Amino acid sequence: MHAFAVMEDDTVLRQIDVPVQEPEGRGVRLRVLHSGVCHTDTHLQQGHYDLGRRGQLRLADRGIPYPLVLGHEIVACVESVGHEVRDLEVGDVRLVYPWIGCGQCHRCAAGQENYCTSGRSLGVNRHGGYAEFVSVPDEKYLIDIGGLDPSWAATLACSGLTAFSAANKVLPLPPDAPVAVIGAGGVGLTVVGILAALGHRNICAVDTNPANLAIATETGARTTLCSDGENSAADLMSMCGGPVDAVIDVVNNTQTAEIAFDVLAKGGRLVQIGLFGGEMVVPTVLMPLKLLTVQGSYVGTLDELKKLVQIAKENTLPRPPILPGNLTLEGVSGALASLAAGGVPGRIVLSSPPGNQ
């Protein structure tokens, strides 16, 4: 099959040919219909994460295999199934849960495959959705999205799931307790929408782009703050009427982490989901004195994705703008460049050319 991959120590996307194998056991091969474009893809393209004063974390040193076919927000059509598959037929359209674990450790046994240290995540540890086909090792990772717009449904596998899992870590709170969302790009807008869908009313969205903040208001934010980096913590607390009960940091660089920590109320919780990188230096005495919690959150579980899809089917989930594109070499390269440049107002979703669907 044709696929679009990045090479080790080379940021240029290239078309490669990948052998297509027949699925075995509970495995399934699917033809890719839609593939969302995520900021994680830009980090994989660059080949490293920023660790602040500790330098860079090279992904190849972490065992990420290159050349790597990116893409982990996948809606696809069943093409072929293994002999043990029971609940799928050729032609079924499904959303793919990509955060697949080893299947052997205690985390996987508990349904926390996204915690697995020997993960087999599609588009990260094995070839993903920027290709004609994708192979999934077990039918349990395929979710029926009947009734949903498939291009939007693709984004639920990462941005939607990441937002849902983060919201679950700060809620329940009183509906009018202030919650700040730092970053109002595609994922941040999804966080705002999911918090609103779960019944939270007092959401403040923070961003540097007024256009994104206008969309955040439409998506469910009660207040917004256009931050220029000067006095941002004081401005945010003024906007919220005082310290905030929770912050979800979708950017999570050195500057936003400091702002997020500084605005927390006593007993407050900071959930960090962004991968922009940097470091966080905090006064340690404030952690016990203010009973603070700082927690990382990485995507979510298979069960959480199933619950999120059900919420979407109930028409209670606001959706960010979907920016369409073509699943071609030029389409993937252009989308990644746009994301790296910043300011994309929503989510980019690439679709296979009509002849390939």
- Separation between Cα atoms, residue 50 and residue 325, nearest integer Å: 29
Element containing residue 187 per DSSP (H, E)? helix 186-197
Burial class (CB in 10 A: 0-12, 13-18, 19+), 233: middle
E strands, the chain, are 2-7, 10-17, 28-37, 48-50, 56-58, 68-69, 73-81, 93-96, 133-136, 142-144, 179-182, 203-207, 223-226, 244-249, 264-272, 293-296, 322-326, 347-351
- Separation between Cα atoms, residue 135 and residue 133, nearest integer Å: 7
What pLDDT tens digit does each residue of the chain (357 aa) get? 999 999 988 889 999 999 998 999 999 999 999 999 998 999 999 888 899 999 998 888 888 889 999 999 999 999 999 999 999 999 999 999 999 999 999 999 999 999 999 999 999 999 999 999 999 999 999 999 999 999 999 999 999 999 999 999 999 999 999 999 999 988 999 999 999 999 999 999 999 999 999 999 999 999 999 987 678 999 999 999 999 999 999 999 999 999 999 999 999 999 999 999 999 999 999 999 999 999 999 999 999 999 999 999 997 788 888 999 999 999 999 999 999 888 788 899 999 986 666
- Separation between Cα atoms, residue 335 and residue 237, nearest integer Å: 35
Neighbouring CB atoms inside 10 A of 95's CB total 28
- Separation between Cα atoms, residue 173 and residue 178, nearest integer Å: 9
- Separation between Cα atoms, residue 333 and residue 330, nearest integer Å: 5
The residue count of the chain comes to 357
